[in-house]
Amino acid sequence: MKTPDDPRHKRRQHILEELFRRDFHKQKIESEASLIYEQKDLLDEKIRLAAPEFPVEKINKVDLAILRLAIYELTIGKKEPPNVIIDEAIELAKEYGGQSTPAFVNGALGKILKDANRSE
C-alpha cells in the first residue's frame, strides 16, 4: 500500500466491508465481493489447512473477511504479485482487525503461499 488513498487499497476496503456485512449481518452483496463469497467453501478449506488450530467458525468475522479476500487474490484472482497481496492484507488487518490480527493473517497467508509454491 503506497497511500491510504490508493485506489487498489480503497477497492479492497470496499470488498472487505461487503464480505463482513454478508457474514455478520447476512446482507446482500454485489460486485467482486459476491465472486469471492461464491468461493467461500474453497477459501475456508484453505484457511482450515493453514490454521488448523483455529476453527473457521470461531475466527473473528473481520479476520475471516481479510483472509478470504487475500486467499482469493492469491489463488484465484492472481492479478498482483503475492507479496503485494500479503502486504495489503496485513495493512487491512492493522486497519480493521485486533491487535493479533496482522500476525495471524501474515502467518496463515505465508503458509498458504508456501504450500502453493510447493505444489507447483
Summarize pLDDT for 36-90 with one digit per residue, the tens: 999 999 999 999 999 999 999 999 999 999 999 999 999 999 999 999 999 999 9
From the options 1.10.760.10, 3.40.630.10, 1.10.940.10, 1.10.4030.10, give the CATH code of 7-119.
Answer: 1.10.940.10
Q: How far is CA 99 from the centre of its chain?
A: 17
Q: Report helix, strand or coil for 55.
A: coil
Q: Tell me the residue type at 73.
A: E
Looking at residues 13-29, what average pLDDT do you find?
Answer: 91
Confidence band for 5, pLDDT divided at 50, 70 and 90: confident
* pLDDT value of position 3: 73
Residue 91 · residue 10 · CB < 8 Å: no
* pLDDT value of position 120: 63
Q: Could you give the maximum distance between any two Cα atoms of the chain, in Å?
A: 38
C-alpha–C-alpha distance, residues 96 and 93, integer Å: 5
From residue 75, alpha-carbon distances to 58, 85, 94, 116 in Å are 23, 11, 22, 8
**The cell 510447493 sits on which residue?**
118
- Which of 20-29, 31-40, 64-73: highest mean pLDDT? 64-73
* pLDDT value of position 71: 97
Give the three cell numbers for residue 54. Answer: 483455529
- All structural domains of the chain with their residue ranges: 7-119
Residue of higher predicted confidence among 2 and 67? 67
